[in-house]
Amino acid sequence: MTQSQGDIVVITGASAGIGRATALEFAKRGARITLLARDGERLQRTAQKVKELGGDALPLVTDVADAQAVEKAAAKTEDQFGPIDIWVNVAMVTVFSPVAEMTAEEYRRVTEVSYLGFVHGTLAALKRMRPRNKGVIVQTGSALSYRGIPLQSAYCGAKFAIRGFSDSLRAELLHEGSNIKITMVQLSAFNTPQFQWARSRLSAPPQPLPPIFQPELAARALVHAAYHHRREWCVGFPAVKTIWGTKLLPRVGDRLAARKAFSGQEDFGASPDVRAESDNLFDAAPGDYRSHGRFDERARDRSWQWRFTTHLLPITLTVLAVVIAAIVAGIAA
């Protein structure tokens, strides 16, 4: 898809975390953005920031687990802004808990939001993109869509499901000869509010498995993926390492997860009061949460892997030029 000013974009989970950061990144490009999330106050604050950055915003209180609500949001978007160009699925919930302590209701809710929410968004986008035979759907994935880790079985299951669903849809679109593009962006660990408001049964406040990156890096990657088509992007070397390690040495990955992913997800140095008043599993958590979580001092805002990935051709050409110049110089000598 060619980048243009004023693209019409829908973003789920847009009131905080990576969803909010992505909305602000699109706003810098003058996009008209529909913001979907459950918390009306945070949506309004995000909408105001979008307008300050040069975009336009339509905030709609929406639970992506409700397919009809997502469909109505898509219809309102096209009524107000026009045809949807880009749909970005970000919304998620999770539970930090051993499988033995999870409930059926918790699994159902995580699945409804973190998997079916993506399906609902994709279906609403396809309904409008198919007649025009154009558009881009961006799925926010994770290294955990390849490697399940302990204490996040519901979330990992949802991410695996999104990947399977997206692969199936991609093949169908190719079979149809469709110009609609679908891409999945596999992320590493990011500094978002989910580690403050997610339901947790851990003995200490949860944390992302280090190293940790800032949400603006994920936002730049999601925007890049919308305009530079590839079936899948990885953001941060930990995602690359996890995905390829799982493909090549899955049993080693099992053992590493068993040994490191328990204590690695607990922040034993944090005070218990860093947790939100209530979790966000079934209802939006109260509070003025924005893009960042509580790990600013430990989070990185850049990734050499992402820079290399997005500049691969220039880097490759430069290396080739240096090699050729060396060979020519050697021959001349």
- Annotated catalytic sites, by residue? 155
CA-closest candidate to residue 227, choices 175, 177, 183: 183
The secondary structure of residue 140, as a DSSP letter, is E
- Residues 70, 76, 80, 85, CA torsion sign: positive
CA 40 to chain centre: 21
In Å, what is the CA distance from 144 to each residue of 188, 222, 282? Answer: 9, 17, 22
CA-closest candidate to residue 291, choices 105, 13, 16, 34: 16
**How far apart (Å, rounded) are the C-alpha atoms in residues 146 and 103?**
24
Collapse the DSSP code of 317 into the 3-class scheme (helix H, G, I; strand E, B; otherwise coil) and give the result. helix
In one-letter notation, the amino acid at residue 180 is: I
Helical spans, DSSP H, in 115-249 = 116-129, 153-176, 194-197, 215-227, 237-248
CA 57 to chain centre: 20
CA 98 to chain centre: 24
Please count the residues of the chain: 333
Q: For residue 60, list its beta bridge partners.
A: 36
Do residues 1 and 226 touch, judged by C-beta distance below 8 A?
Answer: yes
